[in-house]
Homo-oligomer: A and B are copies of this chain.
């Protein structure tokens, strides 16, 4: 009945059990930052929409400039001046040129621009061109950047400033992004009191509700607090039933009281399937994953540091995927400042502080027995000691997952 899995197996299980089913919603471009594209964005226009000069100077017919030099400039008649934000006017006649600013439109007939530095204004309506221009030089042509039908951003892209800029250039004022999954967060335990309460004898504050809400929001999903429950299996069941009507994912943490250890498991079993019961990682062993009506229900450890690591490792990738997001996560190499030991036959996750000295990035492991706060506060990332590894000496380069702050 105990279905203990390694973190890798758990991730695979999550992926196969809960495929993304993104639903689109339309948001204005100004609210699209950080959201995930529900469908690919295709250009419907040419960008740029007209041939433009990339220099301040003169639009010319390149053939008129062939063979010219500083000694023997090509003398061209100035046909006019093109202003920013206006059309280029009539076609450029042979032997003519038109003054054009950077970004200005190029008249029909012109096929190059000459930088003003290589010209001389004779003040009589003509200019001398002192450098020959190859066809196409100093121009960007209509559609050079993007043409209609071209896919510019793929579905699943989480939109950063650079993408918002691209959408603005294409005139996309409304964006179809994936609906944010709603994640219900429930803390259980007779010992728990709200954060703003002074704990009485034997009581501790509910850390997980606040921490998991923040973690869920960092993943771009919506957190709904379902409160603190006393250890009561019926109550847990009823609360879960209610939560399933409005949440896409449920995180239950706690349940460490004697007799309640398996309550989350039983509650899930009576409504769906327990997929995982026990995780071969440290911290995080007492982790449960269930499938109720197609929705993932996690039973996370009550210990905040353990709940944090399991949520980073399993819940976060699931949430990113459910938002429709293509996964992306970087590890950064860092040098261990001190030796770490491990000997559990379980993958061991350890938080670190990251800092740089003389251009070298160091990871200082966070120690402390069962620390609540010290295992979390100010930490910058974590790394994994493989289950077959008994420890790593100081100076080892490890791959750290920076938590980032999103």
A233 smallest CB distance to B (angstroms) = 15
* Residue among A161, A166, A196, A351 with most chain B CB within 10 A: A161
Decide: A161 near B202, CB < 8 A? Known: A101-B258, A190-B83. Answer: no
A85: chain B residues within 8 A (beta carbon): 189-192, 202-203
Determine whether the beta carbon of B189 is less than 8 Å from that of A302. no
Q: Determine chain A's interface SS by DSSP, over half rule.
A: loop
**Complex: how many Å from CA A5 to CA B80?**
37
**Complex: how many Å from CA A406 to CA B229?**
33
Determine whether the beta carbon of B204 is less than 8 Å from that of A159. no
A133-170 interface (Cβ within 8 A of B): 140, 144-146, 152-154, 157-170
A319 smallest CB distance to B (angstroms) = 12
A21 smallest CB distance to B (angstroms) = 22
> Chain B residue with minimal CB distance to A99?
B258
* Residue among A162, A167, A197, A377 with most chain B CB within 10 A: A162
Partner-contacting stretch, out of A90-98, A364-372, A384-392: A364-372
A193 smallest CB distance to B (angstroms) = 8
A166: chain B residues within 8 A (beta carbon): 372-373, 376-378
Determine whether the beta carbon of A202 is less than 8 Å from that of B86. yes
8 Å CB contact of A205 from B34, B160, B171, B217: B171
A333 at the interface (CB under 8 A from B): yes
* Residue among A144, A204, A405 with most chain B CB within 10 A: A405
Oligomer: number of copies: 2
A33: chain B residues within 8 A (beta carbon): 214, 217-218
A91 smallest CB distance to B (angstroms) = 14
A367 smallest CB distance to B (angstroms) = 12
A47 at the interface (CB under 8 A from B): yes
> Chain B residue with minimal CB distance to A225?
B30
A213: chain B residues within 8 A (beta carbon): 30, 164
Determine whether the beta carbon of A161 is less than 8 Å from that of B373. no
A332: chain B residues within 8 A (beta carbon): 330-332
**Complex: how many Å from CA A196 to CA B212?**
39
Interface bin, chain A: 35 or more
**Complex: how many Å from CA A302 to CA B158?**
25
A47: chain B residues within 8 A (beta carbon): 372-373
**Complex: how many Å from CA A304 to CA B33?**
17
Bits for A245-278, please: 1 = Cβ < 8 Å to B, else 0: 0000000000011100000000000000000000
> Chain B residue with minimal CB distance to A163?
B377
A146: chain B residues within 8 A (beta carbon): 372-374
Determine whether the beta carbon of B256 is less than 8 Å from that of A84. yes
Partner-contacting stretch, out of A10-18, A49-57, A62-70: A49-57
A328: chain B residues within 8 A (beta carbon): 354, 380
8 Å CB contact of A308 from B162, B171, B231, B372: B162
Question: Closest 6 A-B residue pairs measured CB to CB?
Answer: A87-B201, A165-B211, A166-B377, A85-B191, A161-B215, A161-B214
28 chain-A/chain-B pairs, Cβ below 8 angstroms: A29-B195, A33-B214, A49-B204, A50-B201, A54-B370, A84-B256, A85-B190, A86-B201, A87-B202, A101-B256, A103-B204, A105-B201, A145-B370, A145-B372, A152-B373, A160-B404, A161-B212, A164-B211, A164-B214, A165-B304, A168-B205, A169-B372, A170-B373, A171-B195, A171-B197, A171-B205, A330-B402, A332-B332
Binding site for B on A (CB under 8 A): 29-30, 33-34, 43, 47-50, 54, 56, 82-88, 101-105, 140, 144-146, 152-154, 157-173, 189-192, 195-215, 217-218, 231, 256-258, 302, 304, 308, 311, 328, 330-333, 351, 354, 361, 368-374, 376-380, 402-406
* Further contacts, 19 of them, CB under 8 A, given A30-B210, A33-B214: A34-B405, A43-B373, A48-B204, A83-B202, A84-B257, A152-B373, A157-B378, A160-B404, A162-B378, A162-B379, A164-B214, A165-B210, A166-B378, A168-B205, A168-B210, A169-B304, A330-B330, A331-B332, A404-B406
